[in-house]
Structure 1
Amino acid sequence: MRIAVVGAGVAGLCSAKVLTQFGFDVTVYDRTPDVGGVWSRTRRYPGVTTQNNKGTYAFSDYPMPREYPEWPSGEQVQQYLAGYVEHFALAPKLRLGTEVTTATIDEGTGTWTVTTREVGSGLVEEQRYDRLVVANGIFCDPFVPPYLGVDEYEQSGGRLCSASDLHSLEDVAGKDVLVVGYGKSACDVAEALSEASRSTTVVARDVTWKMPRKLGHVLNYKYILLTRLSEGLFEHIDQRGFGRFLTGPGRFLRNGLLGSVQSIAQRQLLLKQVGLVPEGSFERIVRHAVSLATEQFYEKVAQGIIRVRRGTSIIALHEKNGGPVAELSDGAFVPADVVVCATGFQQRVPFLTEDLQDRLTDADGNFELYRQIMPLDVPNLYFVGYGSSLFSPISAEAAALWTANHLLGGADLPPVEQRREFVRTRLDWMIERTEGKPARGTNIIPFSLRQIDEILDEIDANVGPMTRFMQWILPAKPSSYRRSTKALLKRHGISP
């Protein structure tokens, strides 16, 4: 069976490795010249690091190098992924610098015709595949708002770009920089650019809670947010076991723990001092993402090196007094030689026809995927990496294993109408708990381990009860999930 995989980031590479292990003929396409997806050298911005520590942001059978720092840089993650390719001999399967322009399905045979274009030469090719795996990531294309006055602004010498389009501090040396957003990428890039810019201003419509890397400068955040206990503090639609106690009779313990973390984080990050205490309680940190605080960001705000315009947004970009400026919603005009948008991403599958995209999504454009993997109404198509997880590599591995099992006929799934009801119920709940920010139906945070459980339980390849018990008090170790692949290979009579 020939399988095309779109994307050579974390999800695409582990899909290639897993599906190859199970005997499939895999070809991976990516428009960038190197592997890595968001970690590609073409997309890395100054100051980018992992949100997880190196011990939890890794594949089950390929750990991060010991010499890496606790929070690897973007360049180091890309090198790690390149090492993964070499270790598992995936290079012959890669078609880098090759963009998938269209993928169409033959409704009669169920096969896919994939049309590609080499970025360098422009060469167009067409190949037929039995199955298609979409692994282009939920951070597919950066979103740059369509501000008024862009032409006038750029003619006056201004530059409008996404964070991932900015690759060097030299691009902002001696310039007035505006960073739009308040997520991790916005704070990371603002802190890095402040080393070279004349001024750095963050325009933050919303101010959200952040988690220090080490709470109280002592306790690594992985012990707080990367355990089953942390997931149990938040109410799941199908709450179980100790989690049911924590969000029920034991809610006072939960509230006390979250309140303590909030108090320490607020004091440690100087939030009251710099006027950046978010609205609401600390539990809102998981409404649509979990954001790690950038080292030195708040210290620089306190020192006046970085300025945060809270509760504002850009109305328009202009030329004023001979230079580029941004007009803000509070009426201010701020010098802005460079406007860097760290305003999120668009989850897109532009290579699929409009009809296919309509069959994949609801009326609001949210993906309707069973287990975040399988469409309800498009056959022979799978999505890997379409769940915003705190354990991205392991989540992608679980989805790839689920896909391999289904391809080999090992799945015993509910009828499609039951799957449809399941997906709709989960999606409605996702929209509610994220306060309307479901990332097109891909936001599973904070229930990363729970999502992995559900995927692996369905194919009877989950870790054992003792491992799950230890994950209540200790961060999940990716290496614990090696047995999942081995168990599934054995079941299908394939030698590891």
Structure 2
Amino acid sequence: MIIASSTTPAAWITARSGYSAGSCASTCASAARSDTSQATTRTCAPARVRSVTNSVTSGPSSAQMQQYLESYVDRFSLQPAIRLETEVTHATPTDSPGWSLTVRSSGASEQQLQVDHLVVANGVYSDPAMPEFLGAYRFRDAGYRICHAVDVNDLEAARGKSVVIVGYGKTACDIAAAVSEVAAETTVVARRILWKMPAKLGNVIGFEQLELCRQGEAGFAYLQQKRLERLLHGPGRPVLAGSYALIQAIVTRQLRLRTLGLLPDVPFEMIAESTEGLATEGFFDKVAAGSIAVLRDTSIIQLLPTGAAELSNGTKIPAELVICATGYRQRIPFIDPQIQARIIDEKGNFRLYRNILPPGVPDLTFAGYNSSGISVLGAEIGALWTAGLLTGRLQLPPAEYQYAEADRRLAWMEARTNGKHAHGGSITPFSIHNIDEMLNDLGSNLGPLMRAWQWVAPLNPRSYRKVMNTPLSRSAESTVIDDSQGAVTRSRV
């Protein structure tokens, strides 16, 4: 088995690694790894891993996440399996079961590789999407800089400069808060203003208690609703609306959104239309203090060689460094174009059953295309699902049903997020639903008492330890492919 992944270098502000393909590739490799006569996925962490996770408060830093991934690799002896700086330039299915890959290592000629199964874990957030600004060439020629958020790795690049951050998502706000400490001026240009949830609502209730439990997730209408969810979004809708109104009022007051002119135009329940809207610590305080300026409902239409940006509202602002926190593209350029046409629809959406399996394309699965607020656990369960498929434990419905289900889900996601769902690669805010569906397919879900407890308590990954230790029916050989520079690399277990 080959696992093709593309990981982004850890950002200098936020733990982007938590959403990277690195964890997906590592978990797939350990899930499929041969262990005596059975393939088994383990979640029992070594002391080093436990020391990392125990030091995490509300969320890991990039350094902690990197340390966790390194500990994971050590725990499952994956290091010999990882070959970096190796790009997969082409992948095509063979006449017999499996795939033929063309790979190229740094400083070496291309090689052909035959594999039985290919896992694509190239990351839904690893290929930066950069807007094309009018005047960008002259702006750069004049000595000014435009870059994507992922390419900013040193605060010194912003020291003493007029910095403009394009976007209003979590990454944009994180960067603005950090840059404002050293920049001459920091401006956020936001095409639209989104809702943000404080780490502690009313300085009392942690966001995990609201967003990472079954009750909180049930507050958003899912495609396939269970009995309590149907009650909540049917007869109980007035109660749900009242809850949202209360939270909206608390958030508005706590973050001073009305005073700062940053009150969104949409109701609070739109907070989770496509992203985890967690407020950056200190961001709104800095806006109030004047160290960060937020220009809402506008966008850059032109960059000027005088070190300025012209906005769609007609104003001009100083701009010596423009940082684009404008998201990522989801692509698989190394896959044969004819096969891509069977996986990706006309809108660029990935037609994946359970966000893993492309119907009708044999010996191919995806990892990490179920990105969410609990991506690491989702990657673990997804790896178990894939291992179940490889070992024959997983019984799938016909391909026609898989296609219909994938298309139905994409149409629903398109409608509820206004097209902002990473082309099918983001399942926010339905992390727990996704995990339930994968485990139900395997017949290995948690018991009713634990699921009932998760209705009011934040999800704890340790609850899934017994599930993840379930032995599979036969062993599998795996190869991991990773990437730290935008190219794909490989290794064999």
Superposition TM-score, scaled by structure 1 size:
0.88
In structure 1, what is the equivalent of residue 346 of structure 2? 363
The Cα shift of 1:246 comes to 1.2
Determine the C-alpha separation between the residues in 2 that align with 1:60 and 1:270: 42
CA contact (8 A) 2:197 2:279 kept: yes
The Cα shift of 1:388 comes to 2.3
Change (3 A) 1:88 1:347: same
The Cα shift of 1:248 comes to 1.3
Is 1:111 aligned with 2:98? yes
CA contact (8 A) 2:391 2:475 kept: no
Determine the C-alpha separation between the residues in 2 that align with 1:304 and 1:104: 55
1:403-414 matched pairs, under 5 angstroms: 403-414=386-397
SS at match of 1:339: strand
Equivalent of residue 443 in structure 1, options 410, 426, 439: 426
Is 1:263 aligned with 2:276? no
1:328-347 matched pairs, under 5 angstroms: 328-347=311-330
The Cα shift of 1:61 comes to 3.6
Change (3 A) 1:479 1:21: farther
Determine the C-alpha separation between the residues in 2 that align with 1:242 and 1:139: 33
1:65-214 matched pairs, under 5 angstroms: 65-106=53-94, 108-119=95-106, 121-214=107-200
The higher-RCO structure (CA 8 Å, 6+ apart) is: 2
Q: Summarize deviations over 1:437-467 as a string: whole Å, max 9, x none.
A: 2321223211110011001101112111111
1:275-286 matched pairs, under 5 angstroms: 275-286=261-272
CA contact (8 A) 1:176 1:337 kept: yes
Identical pairs, percent: 43
The Cα shift of 1:11 comes to 0.8
1:195-344 matched pairs, under 5 angstroms: 195-320=181-306, 324-344=307-327
Change (3 A) 1:23 1:341: farther
Equivalent of residue 451 in structure 2, options 449, 452, 468: 468
In structure 2, what is the equivalent of residue 42 of structure 1? none
The Cα shift of 1:436 comes to 2.3
Determine the C-alpha separation between the residues in 2 that align with 1:363 and 1:24: 44
The Cα shift of 1:71 comes to 2.3
Determine the C-alpha separation between the residues in 2 that align with 1:381 and 1:95: 21
Determine the C-alpha separation between the residues in 2 that align with 1:227 and 1:139: 25
In structure 1, what is the equivalent of residue 334 of structure 2? 351
In structure 2, what is the equivalent of residue 17 of structure 1? 30
In the alignment of these two chains, the number of paired residues is 455
The Cα shift of 1:143 comes to 0.9
The Cα shift of 1:146 comes to 1.2
Determine the C-alpha separation between the residues in 1 that align with 2:29 and 2:464: 18
Determine the C-alpha separation between the residues in 1 that align with 2:186 and 2:37: 50
Q: Summarize deviations over 1:81-131 as a string: whole Å, max 9, x none.
A: 11111111110111122222222211x113212222234x25433221110
Change (3 A) 1:167 1:82: same
Determine the C-alpha separation between the residues in 1 that align with 2:34 and 2:304: 55
Change (3 A) 1:493 1:196: closer
SS at match of 2:286: helix
The Cα shift of 1:238 comes to 1.4
Determine the C-alpha separation between the residues in 2 that align with 1:392 and 1:342: 20
Q: Summarize deviations over 1:13-62 as a string: whole Å, max 9, x none.
A: 11111111567999xxxxxxxxxxxxxxxxxxxxxxxxxxxxxxxx9443
Is 1:383 aligned with 2:370? no
Determine the C-alpha separation between the residues in 1 that align with 2:273 and 2:342: 28
SS at match of 1:164: helix
Q: Summarize deviations over 1:224-250 as a string: whole Å, max 9, x none.
A: 000000111111121112222111111
Letter matched to residue 9 of structure 1: G
The Cα shift of 1:72 comes to 2.0
Unpaired stretches in structure 2, ≥5 consecutive residues: 7-20, 477-493
CA contact (8 A) 2:3 2:29 kept: no
Determine the C-alpha separation between the residues in 1 that align with 2:376 and 2:158: 33
Greater CA drift, 358-367 or 2-11: 2-11
Determine the C-alpha separation between the residues in 2 that align with 1:344 and 1:146: 14
Superposition TM-score, scaled by structure 2 size:
0.89
Q: Summarize deviations over 1:231-290 as a string: whole Å, max 9, x none.
A: 111111211122221111112221122111111111111111110000121100011112
Determine the C-alpha separation between the residues in 1 that align with 2:108 and 2:216: 49
CA contact (8 A) 1:4 1:129 kept: no
Greater CA drift, 214-223 or 438-447: 438-447
Letter matched to residue 318 of structure 1: L
Q: Summarize deviations over 1:53-81 as a string: whole Å, max 9, x none.
A: xxxxxx94435432234322112211111
SS at match of 1:455: helix
RMSD of aligned alpha carbons: 2.0
CA contact (8 A) 2:4 2:121 kept: yes
